[in-house]
Amino acid sequence: MEDAAIHGGIHAKIVGANDDAAQLRLLDSLPAHLVFHASMHPLLKQLAWFVAVGCAAAATHWSMVVLLVEHAGLPPPVANVAGWLVAFVVSFSGHYRLTFRHTKAPLLPAARRFFLISAMGFAVNEAAYAWLLHATPLPYDLLLAIILVGMAIITFIASRLWAFRHKHVA
């Protein structure tokens, strides 16, 4: 309970600060462990949402691929395209409404930027997937899971720095 009261007090002081200098003075007056906690909280929350949305999108992608390979007889690289398109809708919707909602980025520019990031990531995903399917004895579903996890890191960084960026007009 004490931490919540301290955190609430810190939050109120930070929200009430009107300029960078006031915020710096406030942060300088706090113990180091509270400054780290107070400044990292929004990023940790954002990362948690990114992981949750990313897991939902990855599960959608992976499930679609397995469904299309096992039940529709599509080759894994072809099924991967369909899985990515369905997962894109899950991913963008979740990231726009949850992970990056605080940016208040306009919908259409964010969608275009995120699509470009996703398409570039998918191109890397598809090339690596096709190559690894032939170069390794690993099953297609395990390879896809490995690639999806690897691409998540790149997607977060690009989304945070560009796709959901919103320039504030002065």
| Number of C-beta neighbours around residue 84 at 10 A | 22
Q: Which of 48, 16, 14 is nearest to 34 (CA)?
A: 14
The confidence band for 37, taking pLDDT boundaries of 50, 70 and 90, is low
pLDDT tens digit sequence for 49-78: 988 999 999 899 999 999 999 999 999 989
pTM, entire model:
0.63
Burial string for 89-117 (b: 16+ CB within 10 Å, else e) reads ebbbebbbebbbeebebeeeebbebbeeb
Radius of gyration of the chain (CA): 20
* Domain residue ranges of the chain, discontinuous segments joined by +: 1-30, 41-163
Closest CA to 65 of 92, 85, 50, 51: 85
Residue whose entry in the numeric block shows the structure tokens 């995903």? 125
1-35: per-residue pLDDT in tens? Answer: 555 555 555 444 444 444 445 544 554 565 555 44
